[in-house]
A and B are shown apart, each in its own frame.
Chain A
Amino acid sequence: MAASPAYGEEKGGSSSLGEPEYGHDPASGGIFSSDYKRHDDLKEMLDSNKDSLKLEAMKRIVAMIARGKNASDLFPAVVKNVACKNIEVKKLVYVYLVRYAEEQQDLALLSISTFQRGLKDPNQLIRASALRVLSSIRVPIIVPIMMLAIKEAASDMSPYVRKTAAHAIPKLYSLDSDQKDQLIEVIEKLLADKTTLVAGSVVMAFEEVCPERIDLIHKNYRKLCNLLIDVEEWGQVVIINMLTRYARTQFLSPNQNESLLEENTEKAFYGSEEEDAKDTKAEAASLAKRKPYVMDPDHRLLLRNTKPLLQSRNAAVVMAVAQLYFHLAPKAEVGVIAKALVRLLRSHSEVQYVVLQNVATMSIKRRGMFEPYLKSFYIRSTDPTQIKILKLEVLTNLANETNISTILREFQTYIRSMDKDFVAATIQAIGRCATNIGKVRDTCLNGLVQLLSNRDELVVAESVVVIKKLLQMQPAQHSEIIKHMAKLTDNIQVPMARASILWLIGEYCEHVPKIAPDVLRKMAKSFTNEEDIVKLQVINLAAKLYLTNSKQSKLLTQYVLNLAKYDQNYDIRDRARFIRQLIVPTEKSGALNKYAKKLFLAQKPAPILESSFKDRDHFQLGSLSHLLNAKAVGYQELPDWPDEAPDPSVRNVEVPEWTKCTSREKRKEKVEKPFYSDSEGESGPTESADSEPESGSEENSSSSSSGSSSSGTEEEEEEEEEEDSGEQSEDKEEEEEEKRPKRKDKEGHKAVLGKAGSPSEEEEEEEGAKKSKKKVLQGRKGRAETSSEASTSESSSSGSDSGSEAETKQRKAPPSSKASSKEISLLDLDDFTPPPPQTIPSSSIISTSLVTDLEGLTLTDTSLTPTLLSPAFSAVKTYELLHRMAGEGLAVEYCFSRRPFPGDPHMVAVQIQISNNTDTEVKNLRVNEPKPLSGMRIREFPEIEHLAPGDTASVVMGIDFCDSTQAANFQLCTHTRQFYVSIQPPVGELMAPVFMSENEFKKEQGKLMGMSEITEKLTLPEKCRSDHTIVQQVTSAANVGRVPCGASNEYRFAAKTVTSGSLVLITLEWREGSTAQLTINSEKMVIGTMLVKDIIQALTQ
């Protein structure tokens, strides 16, 4: 143990940790030069033949490196082991090598040949890791070798090796920047790569090596946009940031002509496909003639493809998308990012810190965006101070005429916090609100004046400073406050506050002619004990008084000036001399004397209190530079929008660049053709046939356009996958295995796509047939194909909710048996026996929680997927309970939230929204004397004690309507008034969804025939002829759950009435053309009849 302190001293090690494990070594027990001896011991171990000894030695060495100790003298011994067979030893040797190669360049060269051999290894992972280590050794001599290796790896067949090549580019560049031109060539080549694996890394390399070569992006722009969603998270961040810059140089500002911006015209673009860009371009050109501003379709593509990433779990990705929207999107669309950013406020405090900084900047420019989330920025007492201050900043930025009262009330609580820095910041914030919003200036000022009597001196001082700034705006009206502050000079000790008071008195001495000389007298007395800033202000005050009221203050002024003359601080001496010369008339005094009054008592502009985040948005948001408010090294300026859009045709892609390699090109063509036709046959027509109806609503248009984009991506991927498999089939067996999951993923996507368009079974079958044909064609690829086929049928069965149980089973059986006979590894899929489909027994009614919701979970490998299409999209309809006029300013609305009422499953939850539009507080708001009809029960909401003017409260009450649509009557009371109100439920709200399988549905339906069945025919209007709208309309009309159904033109829904729990079964059969038949089975005939009416109305409207 004696060794370790000695060692520590020698290396000046900051870590005081002993090294017990070394101490255990008998060899290191020597008293002098112990560490050499210890290293001898390690050397011996490294030289031995035993892997375990070597490993032990390497572990110790790595531990030394980790602690920052020097282990460089072991280099020769370690580098010998670079070719060691043991994989862990090898890895640790790599770690060592990368750390010390720079210091021992000559010896490091010994290892190079090992890596060069590794670069030729048939295993892609070994090739990749060899390149990785080789490029990490910072030895300038090997630059040519690295260059060669990178070039070779960039055209490697394995995307993983290509990814590593992309990583190696910035390493080489930092080692030798002369290689730039050659590296750019490699980057150009890799940018054309179509795999998601490479995309992120190569863009990273691009950003480090040649961010100015924006022209390299043109051809790859659309591909990058389309791949984006599948790139790993870190790559997404880099790509999005780069594309933001790119878009700023290539497109026109979307906000230049806001009024003329029309979404509808754009929708037309996105129906068309990405590949026929020429078409699009022509269209764009023609549109450009008609419209002053039309967003470039590529610009729109970027916005659309990044939007889903707002839901990433990775805060950095969300922030990247947010900044992209902030910098690129039309004003009307920027709002979408607010929700996601607010969500990040729940994350780690460091994340909050960065996000709030950015929100602060955004909230200055786009205040409206964050206004709905005002309350999310309220401060918790557990927040760290730096977060509190940032939140305060945001709150202040968001303050406006309407919400200022709530914000000020919130601020009042903050002032009482124990965290003094935070209190000071709050007072500043109040000051800023007061300057910005004239309406509340007096209120704020009064509040601040009250704070002057606070016990805490810091609070008082801060208030004085803020009051000073506020008073400067309208001094005449506030001489009272100035007088009050003058009194404070006796008590306040904080120099800044004293200085502020003195300045105020001096500046407005006309308003307080009596007090001012007195204050000066007091200050003159204590002059020598004051702080410097106070002394300066005393001199200032004296000078001003001398000029306005020389009779009373002449002597005092001279006294002060004399004291100042001998002050220790040269600033003060200097000031005194200057002022004396300026104001006291002597024979020698120059022309300035006459103007002294003008100089001192000039009108001074009121200070503008503004956010420190103003104008920060000239830095790209989310960047380090923005956070520091200073340009960081390597920051790429965000360019301004161009006046004229550069030629958009540069982004058109004719020939994919990296198919230069002719042999591959040929193979690719052969392989690609069937696939393309395949995908067209599948996704193309189906998709266009039933993409959502263009009902004109914003939501619809965006979703249909996203559908088309997805198919674009799909095809890209298809192609890429084909390429891969082309290579792989000639490559190795193991890769086929890897491809399987990937392919499956694809097919899954495809199935989703197909599902949106409810593909007919035949098509699926046909596809299968095609595939098997291809199998014959493609010889060696056969195995992979079969597996993918098996997975296709599986995932498609899972994806489509229209497959009836029996059918699906039937379809599932053959492929799986085929698969198991073909390939053993496929058994993985099959020996996973799914649990029996879980369905909630019909007696267990309504889900009361998300937990029960989860019971809806099924593994898709099961034969039946009860996919519930939910009423997710329909907005909740609100009804009026009390009109603003009738309620004398109290407006009450209600809606049916469709959530189980907590506490009583037989009650319908009614959400009531009460807003107080009066200008007085409403107190004791409660429900009184409910007069329910027989059997009806009302669970009142808890009394609202008071509701401030302008505030809105929301409460929930439960009503058991006894399965009737009779209105529930009750009184709504305030402390002064009573209002008679009634709630009448639409029949659709008297029920709750039930989860059941198709078989159960049929069984139950069988029990409810005859009298309990009501059938009605209807005609479906044009816009109501897609799955989506039908389901949406029905679920919005009634609170029902969808039942999976085999036939594509039949829709089934089930629900239970809330009170009695009787089943309500709805079947909608869509016949030829527009006719449809609606059947409702329920033992509650009244409900059934009314429901038929409601649903028909909803569908035919």
Chain B
Amino acid sequence: MIHSLFLINCSGDIFLEKHWKSVVSQSVCDYFFEAQEKAIDVENVPPVISTPHHYLISIYRDKIFFVSVIQTEVPPLFVIEFLHRVADTFQDYFGECSETAIKDNVVIVYELLEEMLDNGFPLATESNILKELIKPPTILRSVVNSITGSSNVGDTLPTGQLSNIPWRRAGVKYTNNEAYFDVIEEIDAIIDKSGSTVFAEIQGVIDSCIKLSGMPDLSLSFMNPRLLDDVSFHPCIRFKRWESERVLSFIPPDGNFRLISYRVSSQNLVAIPVYVKHMISFKENTSSGRFDVTIGPKQNMGKTVEGVVMTVHMPKAVLNMNLTATQGSYTFDPVTKVLTWDVGKITPQKLPNLKGIVNLQSGAPKPEENPSLNIQFKIQQLAISGEWGILHEIGAGRTSWCRK
């Protein structure tokens, strides 16, 4: 299935390669570079590229391209999902999935890749098993290792791999048994010029951190499971029990994992907790324009809106912006034309406002379209469902809320 994997950084260096079958030359990546050049934007590199002898399936994560080489028919999602799992594993092991982290831990990375695939077919992808096979690096361990010469490879055999619950390692012991559940919900909405919602939905996840000894069998029930319209599960959850009783029953993996992700059914109930007043105009002939944006809370049930950040992609004709913010600080990057305004917390008494003059390139026609505003914010413990991380965006009177 998966023949080889190349990790490529943004400047086009292949900094790691791994082959599970016979070796494929690095030159196969030239096709990828070609496509990358054509796409201009990294986001627009097609995930599947066909070359005369191979197929390249790639993902882009944390400024790294994971490019896998395929020779025969395979479901593309299979490969994409696997590559993301690889990136997740790196994240899990090294705390970040960056080029430096991978280069610093190249041996562990190689050992991981060796365990994750056998002959191109996934073998062990559960973090619990992998951690039994290969211990994640910690500062303490690397010090100890360098003194004693012991290794990162676990000397115990991975028993989890043999069991029917491959996601949990055996023999877990904690003095404090604890289990945490984070409910994170995101609103996703598109709002039109007048502020009415075109489309809105709530998506949520329950992330868990379970530190329990032995083989705990948990069940989790909801007061109103009717809310959960469409749910996807971690493999540990018993489908049948959910189907018949709407109870989540599972033997959890050890440590952090995503228990379920779901969509809340009654989409039309979404109340959007902030509003934005915007006045952006460009004057004909004077090569300048006005910019005035105010953000205010609404229907937030007494909770504060915090961590507000607004980003705006200004039209190409904009040269510079002279603005004053009543709160927070703003930056404008004249190269990428991105305006970023870090607002912070919104207090209803004094609404944050950003206004001033936009300088346009002289002679250029005035932009016909107002730019989109992305606003990202967070509300802790909101009544609808706990914590919200939301990205909010307005384009010429059009708002859309996206995930964050």
Contacts and interface: CB of A to CB of B under 8 A. Distances in A.
A622 B75 CA distance: 6
B82 A872 contact: no
Contacts of A88: 151-153
Interface stretch (A268-276, A293-301, A305-313, A996-1004): A305-313
A339 B266 CA distance: 14
B215 A860 contact: no
Contact of A381 (B192, B195, B400): B400
Nearest to A91: B153
A703 B244 contact: yes
Interface residues of B, number: 152
A346 B238 contact: no
Given A386-B46, A795-B217, A102 B22 contact: yes
Given A384-B43, A956-B269, A416 B214 contact: no
B292 to A, nearest CB: 20
B204 interface: yes
B170 interface: yes
A62 interface: yes
Contacts of B301: 902-903
Q: Which 7 A-B pairs have the closest CB atoms?
A: A52-B149, A954-B268, A634-B72, A828-B214, A88-B151, A384-B43, A742-B164
Given A382-B402, A633-B73, A850-B386, A745 B251 contact: yes
Contact of B41 (A123, A385, A798): A385
A63 B173 CA distance: 35
A5 to B, nearest CB: 15
Contacts of B81: 314-316, 351
A233 B235 contact: yes
Contacts of B89: none
Interface string B151-190: 1110101110111111010111100010101010100101
A630 B249 contact: no
A624 B75 contact: yes
Name the residue in B73, B109, B201 with the highest tally of chain A Cβ atoms < 10 Å from its Cβ.
B73
B271 to A, nearest CB: 6
B269 to A, nearest CB: 6
A131 to B, nearest CB: 10
A271 to B, nearest CB: 17
Interface stretch (A10-18, A481-489, A536-544): A10-18
Contacts of B60: 349-350
B212 A832 contact: yes
Contacts of B213: 828, 831-832
B75 A316 contact: yes
Contacts of B219: 798, 857-858, 860, 865, 867
Nearest to A702: B243
Interface string A740-754: 111011101100110
Given A234-B82, A710-B240, A741-B164, A416 B15 contact: no
A384 B44 contact: yes
A739 B157 CA distance: 15
B232 A343 contact: yes
Nearest to A86: B151
B383 interface: yes
A62 B13 contact: no
Contact of A634 (B73, B216, B224): B73
Nearest to A866: B221
Query: Secondary structure of the A side of the interface?
Result: helix
A847 to B, nearest CB: 5
Contact of A66 (B17, B173, B244, B261): B17
Interface stretch (A29-37, A39-47, A166-174): A166-174
Given A63-B106, A67-B16, A311-B232, A869 B245 contact: yes
A382 B21 contact: no
A116 interface: no
Interface in B224-268: 224-227, 229-235, 238-241, 243-247, 249, 251, 258, 261, 263, 266, 268
B193 to A, nearest CB: 9
B110 A624 contact: no
Contact of B173 (A168, A208, A632, A828): A828
Interface in B373-404: 374, 381-386, 391, 393, 395-396, 398, 400, 402-403
A14 B232 CA distance: 43
Chain A: interface size category: 35 or more
A308 B243 contact: yes
A66 B177 contact: no
Contacts of B290: none
Contacts of B47: 350, 353-354
Name the residue in B18, B222, B261, B402 with the highest tally of chain A Cβ atoms < 10 Å from its Cβ.
B222
A1091 to B, nearest CB: 20
Interface string B92-112: 000000000001001101110
Interface in A373-407: 375-376, 378, 380-382, 384-386
B356 interface: no
B48 A355 contact: no
Contacts of A953: 268
A1049 interface: no
A1025 interface: no
A455 B368 contact: yes
A635 B177 contact: no
Contacts of A204: 1, 121
17 contacts: A55-B151, A63-B107, A66-B110, A94-B114, A167-B118, A313-B235, A353-B46, A354-B48, A378-B199, A744-B217, A849-B381, A850-B183, A856-B221, A859-B218, A868-B223, A872-B246, A902-B383
Contacts of B161: 125, 160
A897 interface: yes
A170 B119 contact: yes
Nearest to A943: B196
Given A14-B14, A899-B269, A627 B223 contact: no
B170 to A, nearest CB: 7
A106 to B, nearest CB: 18
Nearest to A348: B84
B78 A381 contact: no
B395 A741 contact: no
Contacts of B201: 376
A232 interface: yes
Contacts of B214: 828-829, 831-832
Contacts of A17: 13, 15, 103
Contacts of A866: 221
Given A738-B163, A902-B384, A748 B212 contact: no
B230 A375 contact: no
B351 interface: no
Contacts of A348: 59, 61, 80, 84
Contacts of A874: 226
Interface in A914-928: none
A320 B403 CA distance: 26
B215 A853 contact: no
B123 A899 contact: no
A634 B70 CA distance: 11
B349 interface: no
A124 B162 CA distance: 10
A1090 interface: no
A158 B185 CA distance: 44
Contacts of A493: none
A382 B55 CA distance: 28
Contacts of B345: none
Contacts of A899: 224, 227, 266, 269
Contacts of A589: none
A91 B232 contact: no
Nearest to B53: A633
A238 B42 CA distance: 31
A847 B223 contact: yes
B121 A418 contact: no
A94 B114 CA distance: 10
B157 A125 contact: yes
Name the residue in B162, B213, B249 with the highest tally of chain A Cβ atoms < 10 Å from its Cβ.
B162
B162 A95 contact: no
